[in-house]
Amino acid sequence: MPSVSNKLTVKLGARSYDILIGKGLLKSAGMKIHNTVGNGKCWIITDENLAPLYLPLIQKSLAEAAMQSHTIILPAGEDTKNFETVKMLTNKVLDEIPERGSTLIALGGGVVGDLTGFAASVILRGINFIQIPTTFLAQVDSSVGGKTGINTRHGKNLIGAFYQPNLVITDTDVLNSLPKREILAGYAEVVKYGLIRDATFFEWLEKNGNAVVNGEFEALSYAIQKSCGIKAAIVADDEYERGTRALLNFGHTFGHALEAETEFGSELNHGEAVSIGMTLACKLSNILGFSRSATLNRTLNHFNKIGLMTNFPKIENRQWKPHKILGHMAHDKKNKSGRNTFVLMRDIGEAFVSDDVNLEVVERLLQEPNS
Ligand SMILES: NC(=O)c1ccc[n+]([C@@H]2O[C@H](COP(=O)([O-])OP(=O)(O)OC[C@H]3O[C@@H](n4cnc5c(N)ncnc54)[C@H](O)[C@@H]3O)[C@@H](O)[C@H]2O)c1
Ligand SMILES: [Zn+2]
């Protein structure tokens, strides 16, 4: 296994922060948090699935570090990522009189992380924010980079803020309780990094991807470290997505539209929507003549080998209508001057952004998986 450090720093000047990656880190989370933000009041925000599993450990560890903590437990799932939850959350925190030195701790997946980060960004115009990601997706992606937000009926993550955490504590042990479906969802974001930026990492995944999704520690922790490293470098280069950061949206223009079409429900999770979206982006790159068929086939072979979704799933009473998916894409926040923005690829590891794609070609492509 190539060696990568288990402490990474996202280099953003005064907003720089560490990502700690390892086994058994939750036990000492309190001291790590105390060392980062001091001993102000803190709130642990988590969901109902995680509370019975990990909350006592975090509470104990904060108490051992002499930190006073409150807890807010949210319903699990994407439906929670909305304005009503932000209202409830911020009011509960305000009830306990926070100060600028107070801290919100997100113990959960991307839903808890995105919501908590957004709340932290607006309470007193910004209080401390710690991420303790518990899904594979959150460990390799959403806990790093400072995008926070919520969904509205207009689409996904359309309300939010760039707000960096003060520290990310990634304990690989928590993945032992994560269902396989969620591991695969995180793997979609892992393979994304190889596809957009790092052909050598993609090659490594071709050999070791099954070990990663089967939870073999060495492979898993290397995949997390490598993914966070690639993301940290892109974020350090372009924190506010004026250029290269947009590459991280590979597969997401389609993916977000599919999530909107399924009303952010449990039919498709984020990673599943993104893996179908990446398949479509690879096919589109090939149809438009940017990438070779061999590149497309190599990518699809890997997705199939790991068990990532490549087609719209067959769901009772669900018809995937191209014009409806295109309708959702019109709301994408990456669009410029009314034109849809797509991340395409020339080869594995070489992605680029285009706002010059003929939507009739996209509509024909969207018909394909239904046939
Ligand atoms: N901010 C970003 O940069 C960014 C990047 C990617 C995705 N996201 C967002 O992240 C969200 C998806 O996050 P997610 O995939 O982590 O889903 P999630 O937070 O909904 O978690 C998935 C499910 O797994 C459960 N769970 C979490 N950790 C567990 C564990 N260790 N053991 C057992 N069960 C556990 C949760 O309770 C939930 O039911 C989406 O809203 C997406 O938009 C944000
Ligand atoms: Zn994503």
- C-alpha radius of gyration, the chain, whole number: 20
- β-strand 42-47 against 69-74: which pairing, if any? parallel
Q: Give the pair of three-digit tokens for residue 52.
A: 């019975």
Average pLDDT over the chain reads 94
Tell me the best of 57, 58, 111, 144 to mutate to test the pocket of ligand 1, counting ligand atoms within 8 Å of each CB and taking the most: 111
Mutate to test the pocket of ligand 1, among 25, 46, 48, 49 (most ligand atoms within 8 A of CB): 49
Can 331 be counted among the known catalytic residues?
no
pLDDT at 335 over 80: no
Pair 175, 323: CB distance under 8 Å: no
Is the pLDDT confidence value at 3 over 70? no
- The reply to whether ligand 1 has any atom less than 6 angstroms from the CB of 109 is yes
Confidence grade of residue 371 (pLDDT, cut at 50, 70, 90): very low
Question: Which of ligand 1's atoms lies nearest the C-alpha of 81?
Answer: 41
More confident residue, 37 or 321: 37
Q: What mean pLDDT do residues 310-339 have?
A: 83
Work out the burial of residue 326: count CB atoms within 10 Å of its CB; fewer than 13 is exposed, 13-18 middle, 19 or more buried: middle
* Distance, CA of 182 to CA of 140 (rounded, Å): 12
Residue 363 near residue 323 (C-beta atoms within 8 A): yes
CA angle (310 as vertex; 172, 284 as ends), nearest 5:
115
pLDDT at 322 over 80: yes
Catalytic (active site) residue 336: no
Instruction: For residue 122, name the pLDDT band (cuts at 50, 70, 90).
Output: very high
Q: What is the pLDDT of residue 337?
A: 67
Q: Distance between CA atoms of 170 and 20, rounded to whole angstroms?
A: 6
pLDDT at 69: 96
Least-confidence region, from 148-157, 200-209, 251-260, 325-334: 325-334
Q: What angle do CA 300, 138, 255 make, to 5 degrees?
A: 45
Q: What is the pLDDT of residue 369?
A: 55
- Residue 250 banded pLDDT, cuts 50, 70, 90: very high
Q: Is 102 helix (H, G, I), strand (E, B) or coil?
A: coil
* Cβ–ligand 1 contact at 272 (below 6 Å): no
**Distance, CA of 57 to CA of 26 (rounded, Å):** 7
What's the pLDDT score for residue 155? 77
Residue 364 among the catalytic residues: no
pLDDT tens string 65-116: 999 999 999 999 988 999 999 999 999 999 999 998 999 999 999 999 999 9
Judged against a pLDDT cut of 50, whether residue 326 lies above it is answered with yes
pLDDT in tens, 180-228: 999 999 999 999 999 999 999 999 999 999 999 999 999 999 999 999 9
Ligand nearest to the CA of residue 118, numbered in listed order: 1
Is pTM, for the whole model, over 0.75? yes
Give the position, in ligand 1's atom list, of the atom nearest the Cα of 48: 37
In DSSP terms, which residues pair with 162 in a beta bridge?
A: 147
Share of the chain above pLDDT 90, in %: 83
Q: Read off the pLDDT of residues 126-150 as tens digits, 9 standing for 90 and up.
A: 999 999 999 999 999 999 999 999 9
Looking at residue 1, what is its pLDDT?
Answer: 63
Q: Give per-residue pLDDT as tens, 105-117.
A: 999 999 999 999 9
The predicted pLDDT at position 185 comes to 97
Percentage of the chain exceeding pLDDT 70: 96
